[in-house]
Structure 1
Amino acid sequence: MDYFDPAGFCKVGDEAGFRNLRAAELKHGRVAMMAALGASVQHYVQFPGFDEVPTGIGAVTTAPGSYGFAALFLVSGVLELALWTEDPKKEPGNFGDPLNLGQYDIDMRNKELNNGRFAMFSIVGIIAAELFTGKDGIDQIGLDTPTL
């Protein structure tokens, strides 16, 4: 995707700033992809002991869902600060290929970047619609079926 900065956040020629912003964009995109998937799956699947926790945004404000959110927040903070640190020798967001699939090439990185951008808009839409309607992502589109 090379250089794309329509809002002018990065100064021309500031490679360190560009790398920092690209890494942040990739991380936010990855989180958004997981959030959009989770916003859909949680309607159907709940962990044992979390049967009374509402689906959707209400899960993070209702115990024991709030405890799970706090644990997830702490684990992701540790991973972010200790394990997944940027390497200046690699492109931003490249943490290797842990499964040795050989798929993390320029084409796959571009797909990940575009899918991440779409997921950021997607999860914002899911959250905004839920705050407005009070229905989770699946209820909003009328696919309400029994949970597993």
Structure 2
Amino acid sequence: MEIKCPHCGQRNRAPARKLDSIVSCGKCHRPLLSSPVVADSPVLTELISDSAIPVLVDFWAPWCGPCRAFAPIFENEATRQNGSIVFAKVDTELHQDLGQRFNIRSIPTLAAFFRGKELFRKSGALPPTELEKIVNQLKELA
């Protein structure tokens, strides 16, 4: 799969099964997973099925007020965790097939995956402390 570097914009090929070791951009050498991965169907499928570390997906839409309010909280936690788990964002307006595939009925919805299985999901914008608790639970799995 390709991950766009959040720092320099360079596209990097990084197999999901090696995300626990491949964490830096080939061009600028800064961390690739220091911000959420923008996922479409192929990227999300690979992340969920092959990722060596847990994946936390934020299903959102640009017109959703709570989604926009939660976005900086999600981004800050991704930066803080710096690749210990994968943070991914799926725009359900742009990728309606993924909203249907994962039966997303309200947004924002967080869904956690590890080794091809959905572990849990939680709907609604979360405060930073609750998101941190979820992230800590996921890190214990890895």
What TM-score do the two structures reach when normalised by structure 1? 0.25
Question: When you count strand as a share of all residues, which structure comes out higher?
Answer: 2
Higher relative contact order (CA 8 A, sep 6+): 1
Larger Rg: 1
